[in-house]
Structures are given as C-alpha cells and as structure tokens.
Amino acid sequence: MENIRCLIIGGGPAGYTAAIYASRAGLNPVLYEGMEPGGQLTTTTIVENFPGFPEGVDANQLMTDMRAQAARFGADIRRGTVTAVDFSSRPFKLTIDSETVIEAQAVIIATGATARYLGLPSEQEFRGMCVSACATCDGFFYRRKDVAVVGGGDTACEEATYLANLCNKVYMIVRRDVFRASQAMQEKVRNTPNIEVLWNCNTREVLGDASGVTGARLERKDGKVFDISIDGFFLAIGHHPNSDVFKEFIQTDENGYIVTSGKSCMTNVEGVFAAGDVQDPSFRQAITAAASGCKAALEVEKFLLSH
C-alpha cells in the first residue's frame, strides 16, 4: 500500500499553497484535487483583491499558476476524490475514488465549500438547465435575456453586476429588506440601472417547460404572490463546507465547518490539519485560504519532525 508522508486533499488556494510549502520543506506531498481543480475561485472571473496584482488577475490563471508553482517544487498533484477515511490510528487510511486505499502520516484537509441551493423540487428539475450557482460559468448563455439572482450577500451582488453586463435585466431576489453584502458591493448594485432588487421576497417555485426556465413564482413578506418572467435562475445563497466524509472522526461545528484549535490548523485528530474554507465560516477569501494552507504545511512539518 502506498504510504505518503504528507497528503493534501483539495485543489484550491489552501491546498496548492500547502503543497508549495510542503514540497519546499522536502515533505514530498501528494495532493488530490477532487472534482473541482482550482476550487471555487475558478467560478469567478477577475480577482481584484489578491495582493500583488495591481490590475487584478484572471482567477483561472491564478489557480493554474499556484498549481504550477507547487508542481515546480515537486508536489505530486493527482486527479481523484477522497471517498472514505479511517483516522482512528496512524498511519491514516484514505480511499481514493472508492477503490484505492492509501496511507498517510499526516493529512491536510483543504476541501473547501460548495454552493447551496434552496431545495425546491422545481429548482432540482431545472438544475443544469437554466438553474445555476455560478454566474461567471453560465452567464454567457443569457446574453440579452432576463435573469434572477437569489441572495443578498457579496456573492449575489457580484454575480448580479456581472450578469447585468451581459443580460437585458437582472432581478435580485432578497429575502430581507437589507443586503448582507459589504457597502462597496451594495453601491455597485445601486449604480447598475438594469438590476431590480425585489426586497422581502422568497422563491416559491421555479417555472419552466421543456425548453427550460421561463419564470419564477415569488412570495413577498406581506403575502403577495407574483411571477417574474426570466430565462435563467442563479443561486448565490452561501456555501456548504465539504467536510462530510471526515465527520466520523473530525469535529465540526453546527454548520459543518471543521473545528481547528485556536490559531492553529490542528483538528481534534493529531496529525490531521484543516485549511481554507472547509474550516473558515467567516472570511472565506482566496488570500485567507492560502494563508491557512501555509500554516497547515508548516504545522505538518513540525508534526512529522516530532513523530
């Protein structure tokens, strides 16, 4: 059975940064990228707040470069998803793609978080067919059409302004009478004339036919039910941390975020560390994910030296 010194799970900013540090420290890391190499950042376009890029940087390019940087120092980057773990004793046992079992002396979990959906049957029915959780991936298909974005956070505002550039009209469906988003993002929305915010509204149903989405039925807080006519329905209501496969062994909070110890990336299992969005319900930025990937790799180095 293959025995790996430092196994990193996840190919986002946290995982790649951990791989850069671990490979430079001579830990011969192996990184499994999972289903979404590059992580959530690949669902956006330009990153303007990552330090070192005064003009902004293409998100996919940033991830490709982080990956290449890790590979340059010898990180072994592989396609594959961890489908089961046994953290009951060291070396830890991990199953890749439900078939290959490998052993690892130390593990960094950097599996990120996944977009949430409302859970409506009609939303499921049209998923992948005009219902999307990624405006930057799918917005292109709705040029000069009318669409709706659900949510009132930074993601929703960002996606709505992005779509407003492409689409004829963008409705924002916001369940309260205020945004959760930062002032800067709210300002962007206010300054975009083809965005209409529908306050105090919840989606009852996504409407459509064989051709895809044709509208949405909304209910306002005062009880009024009404339909809007749209061609695309975008979700931007937050994320679910990808921690399920570890839960038998690893402590998580009530929302599924992995609990780490104070300023450290240590989990409740000695030798298993967590970095990035899977353990961060608060900041969830590429730069903070990268920083925690760095911390986790440095901690693994110390751990392996002392064991």
**In contact, 195 and 164? CB cutoff 8 Å:** yes
The 248-287 site mask, x for binding ligand NDP (CB under 6 A), equals ------------------------------------x---
Check binding of 118 to ligand NDP (CB under 6 A).
yes
Residue number, 34 or 152, with CB nearest to ligand NDP = 152
Q: Is 138 one of the annotated active-site residues of the chain?
A: yes
Closest Cα partner for 77 from 2, 8, 26?
8
Residue number, 199 or 303, with CB nearest to ligand NDP = 199
What tokens were used for 77?
Answer: 């980057």
Check binding of 74 to ligand NDP (CB under 6 A).
no
Owner of token pair 């749209």: 230
Alpha helix stretches (DSSP H) within 139-267: 154-166, 183-190
Question: What's the gap between Cα 222 and its chain centre?
Answer: 34
Tell me the residue nearest to ligand NDP as measured from the CB.
Answer: 153
How large is the greatest C-alpha to C-alpha distance in the chain, in angstroms?
64
Q: Which of 33, 138, 146, 158 binds ligand NDP (CB under 6 A)?
A: 158
- Provide CB contacts within 8 A for 272, sequence distance 6+: 87, 92, 106, 107, 109, 246, 249, 250, 266
Check binding of 238 to ligand NDP (CB under 6 A).
yes
Check binding of 154 to ligand NDP (CB under 6 A).
yes
Q: Is 6 one of the annotated active-site residues of the chain?
A: no
Q: Which of 175, 188, 217, 240 binds ligand NDP (CB under 6 A)?
A: 175
Catalytic residue among 6, 138, 146, 201: 138
Question: What's the gap between Cα 201 and its chain centre?
Answer: 25
Check binding of 216 to ligand NDP (CB under 6 A).
no
Q: Which stretch binds ligand NDP (CB under 6 A): 10-18, 75-83, 172-180, 211-219?
A: 172-180
Q: Which of 80, 153, 212, 215 binds ligand NDP (CB under 6 A)?
A: 153
CA of 232: how far to CAs of 46, 111, 159, in Å?
A: 22, 29, 13
Closest distance of CB 157 from ligand NDP, Å: 8
Burial of 177-213, coded b for 16+ CB within 10 Å and e otherwise, reads eebbbeeebbebbeebeebebbebbebbbbbbeeebb
Check binding of 12 to ligand NDP (CB under 6 A).
no
Q: Is 137 one of the annotated active-site residues of the chain?
A: yes
Check binding of 152 to ligand NDP (CB under 6 A).
yes
What tokens were used for 218?
Answer: 């909304």
Residue number, 90 or 240, with CB nearest to ligand NDP = 240
Q: Which of residues 179-198 bind ligand NDP (CB under 6 A)?
A: 180
Residue number, 11 or 151, with CB nearest to ligand NDP = 151
Q: CA 233 to CA 220: how far, in whole Å?
A: 18
Q: Which stretch binds ligand NDP (CB under 6 A): 35-43, 60-68, 101-109, 236-244?
A: 236-244
Catalytic residue among 65, 137, 177, 244: 137
Q: How many residues bind ligand NDP (CB under 6 A)?
A: 17
- Provide CB contacts within 8 A for 82, sequence distance 6+: 9, 32, 34, 94, 95, 96, 111, 245
Written as one string, the DSSP assignment of 37-103 is TTGGGGGSSEE-SSTT-TT-EEHHHHHHHHHHHHHHTT-EEE---EEEEE-SSSSEEEEETTTEEEE
Check binding of 156 to ligand NDP (CB under 6 A).
yes
Tell me which residues are annotated as active site.
134, 137-138
**What does the binding site for ligand NDP look like in residue numbers (CB under 6 A)?**
49, 118, 150-156, 158, 175-176, 180, 236-238, 284
